[in-house]
Amino acid sequence: MSPADLADAIVAAVGRAVADGDLDVPVPTTVTVERPKNPEHGDYASPVALQLAKAARRPPRAVAELLAARLTAAEGIARVDIAGPGFLNITLVGAALGEVARRVVRAGASYGHAEKPRDVRINLEFVSANPTGPVTLASARWAAVGDALVRILTAAGYSVGGEYYVNDAGVQISRFGASVLAAAAGREIPAEGYHGAYVAEIATTVLAERPDLLELPGDEALAVAAQRGLTLMLGEIRSTLESFGVHFDTWASEKALHDAGGLERAVEDLRAQGHVFDADGAVWLRTTDFGDDKDRVLIKSDGQGTYFCADAAYYRDKRGRGFDRVIYLLGADHHGYIGRLRAISACFGDDPDVNLEVIIGQMVTLTRGGEPVKMSKRAGTFLTLHDLVDAVGVDAARYSLVRQSHDSSLELNLDLIARQTSENPVFYVQYAHARISSLLRGAEALGLTLSPEGADVALLTHPREGDLLRALGEFPRVIESAASLRGPHRVARYLEELAGVYHRFYDVCRVLPQGDEPAGPLTDARLLLAAATQLVLSNGLALLGVSAPDRM
């Protein structure tokens, strides 16, 4: 019996009490079930009686007594005690708790995932860095967090499209082209241009492709340098992210949006909604009606669309593609975007609380030997994703970038996360998986076969076995929590807890027979428990885009 099963049993008990006329309350759709801090208080606890007491117009303990009587008769529940003001402390029969291990192994890679799809389509845009330089360390964090969120939301039953918005229109592209052209000609790069060894590398490639580049007329040379440089830089960004395990369903082009008339159609729709006005030769959107700090210009007096107009058109485009909820994962310097994006959503007639979400992430810094790592050899002025991966590898980088909540700044100690010891969280979790793999190989060498259906899970009565079973039972709720709170770090912290619970189990509960000792039913049950733990560790690491090695 999992926590979700127990929650269903409690809801059913409330429903029976209402049907019998003993309680006059709305029957909840779900209730809180948690593991008590003291295992002597039972396997699980619920404050449902305290939550229903006011509506029932009864003391919480009286409500608890009504529910306890009905729960005790439910299958799989051995005892229900009432504690304090009315908490229900619930102890399961051994077989009911042990069934968690069997359920995990039966479900395999799908364990923890939502059983039914949700009728909600989510567009999650992340990274979306300007295609004028390598993927920075800050963008690396959004890459890891965003990709993990796509995986977690998908596991929670949502239909999710991960998206990268390519800012390939605007003045930054001209400046990038000018930088590439200057490097190709051996001239000093303009002060407002882009610097670093990568610009010279791109210039060399462009010049090899177009030996006539420097002989072209100025505007044509600039256009060639900008377009080829953009293509090469974007190709490198895509390759870098793919090698980091980050995949996007859509690479959306700002230039394509412009060329297709998306900005004009957005203005037409907004005008039809009654929120557009003309002043000082420009076209404005009255966003102050929806909480923005000032009205925004859509079309400047010279007839050119603004960045804000492109933002509005892009939001309209996403919604037009059938996404119910549009999520933006933005950097720490984008707090000002929250109000204006919410205003855009409202001006299009949407409900920003339903159709829009803006997640702001904080910065990340690297240290080595107690000192900050300040500069990339290739980028010149900023650290890149390549720098991090070269230092610690993809797994350690991804895990470390998602392990802490994205709304707090992150300092990564390169010495620690490269270390192959239990002090390194990703090693600690991966080692638990590898340790179980070794155990299962040992069982196979002894001629023992994992038997999910034949194992007697009622034999799993040791306190450390109970701890491990309860931890495994929490995994579906961890996924649901990580999805609803947009917190991949919750999966990482759960995996670390699970690894610790497994190590403590293994230290005191011998799984394989030694010497001439024959294997028995308890061996089969413990093998099943170990295999279930391995599956959950693997499933959880997959949600973070981290490998689950069989050997370390």
- pLDDT score recorded for residue 140: 93
- pLDDT score recorded for residue 379: 62
- pLDDT score recorded for residue 518: 86
- Render pLDDT for 154-189 as a digit per residue (tens, 0 to 9): 999 999 999 999 999 888 999 999 999 999 999 999
Distance CA 273, CA 72 (A): 59
Structural domain for 28, as ranges = 3-92
Q: Is the pLDDT of residue 375 over 80?
A: no
Q: Is the pLDDT of residue 377 over 70?
A: no
Residue 383 binned pLDDT confidence (cut-offs 50, 70, 90): confident
Residue 300 domain flag: no
Q: Are residues 535 and 434 in the same domain?
A: yes
β-strands 296-299, 356-360: how paired?
Answer: unpaired
- Render pLDDT for 217-242 as a digit per residue (tens, 0 to 9): 989 999 999 999 999 999 999 999 99
Residue 24 domain flag: yes
Q: Are residues 428 and 525 in the same domain?
A: yes
- pLDDT score recorded for residue 432: 97
User: Residue 521 belongs to a domain with what CATH number?
Assistant: 1.10.730.10
- Render pLDDT for 515-540 as a digit per residue (tens, 0 to 9): 788 889 999 999 999 999 999 999 99
Residue 466 domain flag: yes
Structure tokens at 281: 């030769």
Residue 47 domain flag: yes
* 492 half-sphere exposure, CB direction, 13 A CA radius: 27
- pLDDT score recorded for residue 170: 84
Q: Are residues 88 and 178 in the same domain?
A: no
Q: Is the pLDDT of residue 378 over 80?
A: no
| Average pLDDT of the residues in 373-377 | 70
| Average pLDDT of the residues in 251-274 | 96
Residue 315 domain flag: no
- pLDDT score recorded for residue 336: 84
- pLDDT score recorded for residue 76: 85
Helix (H, G, I), strand (E, B) or coil at 328: strand
Distance CA 110, CA 491 (A): 15
Structure tokens at 174: 């001209």
Closest C-alpha to 40, from 69, 83, 4:
83
- Render pLDDT for 419-432 as a digit per residue (tens, 0 to 9): 888 899 999 999 99
Structure tokens at 166: 């390519």
Residue 34 binned pLDDT confidence (cut-offs 50, 70, 90): confident
β-strands 77-83, 87-92: how paired?
Answer: antiparallel
Residue 1 binned pLDDT confidence (cut-offs 50, 70, 90): confident
Specify the higher pLDDT residue, 20 or 529: 529
Q: In what order do the strands lie in the sheet with 356-360?
A: 250-253, 159-166, 121-125, 325-330, 356-360
- pLDDT score recorded for residue 158: 98
**Interior angle at CA 271, CA 268 and CA 276, nearest 5:** 130
- Render pLDDT for 305-326 as a digit per residue (tens, 0 to 9): 999 999 999 999 999 999 999 9
Q: Is the pLDDT of residue 124 over 70?
A: yes
One-letter amino acid of 264: E
| Average pLDDT of the residues in 122-139 | 93
Last residue of a domain, one of 50, 74, 92: 92
Last residue of a domain, one of 243, 277, 302: 243
Residue 182 domain flag: yes
Residue 276 domain flag: no
Distance CA 492, CA 144 (A): 12
Last residue of a domain, one of 243, 275, 303: 243
Q: What is the mean pLDDT of the chain?
A: 93
> Domain count of the chain?
3
What's the whole-model pTM score?
0.89
- Render pLDDT for 327-339 as a digit per residue (tens, 0 to 9): 999 988 888 889 9
Q: Is the pLDDT of residue 476 over 70?
A: yes
The residue with tokens 């980028």 is: 379
User: Residue 56 belongs to a domain with what CATH number?
Assistant: 3.30.1360.70
Closest C-alpha to 129, from 324, 288, 333:
333
Beta bridge partners, 412, equal 366
Share of the chain above pLDDT 90, in %: 74
Residue 407 domain flag: no
